[in-house]
Structure 1
Amino acid sequence: MTTSEIQVTKTILREFFEDFMENIIESDVVVVGAGPCGIAAATYAAEEGHKTILIERNFHAGGGMWQGGFLMPKNIIREPANILLEEWGVRLKKAEDGLYVCDSFEMVSKMLAAASSAGVKLLNSVHVEDIILKNDRVEGVVIQWFPATKMPLDMNFADPIAIKTKVVIDATGHGSVLVSRLAEQRPEIKKPVGCGSMWVDRAEQETVELTHEIYPGLIVAGMAATSTYGAPRMGPIFSGMLLGGKKAAEFAHEKISEITEEKVRIKD
């Protein structure tokens, strides 16, 4: 068997653009940010049968999970978030009452494997620079290749493109990127203030509590929610972010069901 360079090129181009046209341009859920919260949100949304896109601006997905705390590759989880990781096959060691530890690379790789198995489509090296805002509702996102955003302005002539969706989840972490952009256009939305100082116990609770639909079609989750409202940071423990992602997916499922029911009523 022989393989030519052109065969390789054609296959990459064909498969990428077919996948993009069929599965990415229009979806049910777009999750922006592939850290612990974003991966969890995307996985649970896809498991509900929703066409789900996970967008990450970096070359790699996983956010801060890869290096745990202080560049030491051990991740801390507290109950009940351990149940989520156990469902995805992550091996956990009980460290203290209610606290578990795992190897960071195993946590990231098995979470990504679960997302892929659920049907999530990952767009890495892609930057979300804006939202589609119509009729007082977020209806999609505007994307650009992240490396292109690093080019000097006089060399970057590439306009972005848009993808349409029913629900967007802002899981961009400390930056609260989509909420920040929305606040520039809607005065009733306050600009994110950034997260407060570390307070692990309170942060783990409030990260989940603050995850909600902040504007029709836009759910803020995980550290993005924490930073939006100035809640404390939690440091190298990932339970609140995982549970916040699960909660965001539940909200997304509810909103999609409402949209579907509304379309049925209009049709009738």
Structure 2
Amino acid sequence: MTKHFLNPVTDVKVSKLILKHYFENLTDALISDVIIVGGGPSGLTAARELGNSGYKVVIMERKLSPGGGTWGGSMSFNKVVIQKDLKDYLNELELPFIEDEDALVVDSCLFASQLISKALKTQNVKLFNLMTVVDLEYTNNAITGVVVNNTGIEIAGLHVDPMVFQTKAVLDSTGHDAIAANIYSRRVQLPLRKEHFMNAVQGEEDTVNNTKMLANGLFVSGMAANNVDGGSRMGPIFGGMIKSGLKAAKLIMEYIKTV
């Protein structure tokens, strides 16, 4: 039989290398500058911006695939729309687009994968998928970490204790679920207005305007921000998500300087 590999890798070595490098990354992620809960478009944009600015960023993604709601486009028609205002930013991402009717049309799968790639190629950014945030750490009147369990354990409802990851700031970019914001609101009885009806023009403005610091060390972006402040939903248009992520990164950097 012809051999095609000069350096074969055994089954055990595969397992050993995966465990070694995964847990090196996981151990290093226990203390960071920023934890981003949810690897959707606003979170990935913020992660890239923060990472490029020298901050140590950890993304906790509940699902198997990061990218949020971008992959399927609209009704599985895999195109999304972005405002012409973001043309220079898409070029920066090396993301091809078609200009049509004063808007930019982008392949949704390429959009998601390029956001992921650009964020994770940043040296300071690490992403862990299948990780569900179940609680927040609160110290000295500020959010200082997240409590995380494996998504499979959470789905199965098993009684297995989670782990704590400490940080200087937490960004909730979990979309319609607003997971971290809801956890916080249950503890301090903060009213959440929930997202409003569909309106693309208003929703895109709301997404950016509602991006803010919700509490000391806790920030919201994207649809999570609209869930907090009652902003409109907007469907498969993503300029607001990009601008929200950029704004969140700026707010977080300003906050960390004061901590």
Q: TM-score range by the shorter chain?
A: over 0.9
Normalised TM-score (structure 1): 0.91
Alignment-derived partner of residue 92 in structure 2 = 87
Q: What residue in structure 1 maps to residue 203 of structure 2?
A: 203
The match for 2:20 is: 14
User: Where does structure 1 differ by over 4 angstroms across 4 or more consecutive aligned residues?
Assistant: none
Alpha-carbon distance, 1:206 to partner: 1.1
Task: For 1:1-268, list aligned pairs within 5 A.
Answer: 1-22=7-28, 24-97=29-102, 99-119=103-123, 120-151=125-156, 153=157, 156-187=158-189, 189-190=190-191, 192-259=192-259
Q: CA deviation at 1:147?
A: 0.8
Give me the whole-angstrom Cα distance separating, in 1, the residues matched to 2:86 and 2:161.
Answer: 41
Which secondary structure does the structure 1 equivalent of 2:65 belong to? coil
Normalised TM-score (structure 2): 0.94
Distance in 1 of aligned mates of 2:241 and 2:185: 23
CA offset at residue 179 of structure 1? 0.8
Q: Which moved more, 1:13-22 or 1:243-252?
A: 13-22
Deviation, structure 1 residue 26: 0.4
1:225, CA displacement in angstroms?
0.6
- How far apart are the structure 2 equivalents of 1:54 and 1:84? 22
Output the CA distance in 2 between the equivalents of 1:257 and 1:142: 24
**Aligned residue pair count:** 252
Q: Which moved more, 1:204-213 or 1:178-187?
A: 178-187
Shift in Å at residue 233 of structure 1? 0.7
CA RMSD of aligned residues (A): 1.1
Gaps of 5+ in 1: 260-268
Deviations 1:26-62 (A, max 9, x none): 0001111111111111111111100001111110011
2-structure distance, mates of 1:94, 1:2 = 48
Alpha-carbon distance in 1 for matches of 2:178, 2:9 = 46
Identity of aligned residues (%): 33
SS across alignment from 1:81? helix
Letter in 2 for 1:110: Q
Q: CA deviation at 1:4?
A: 2.0
> Residues of 2 paired with 1:170 and 1:59: CA distance?
18
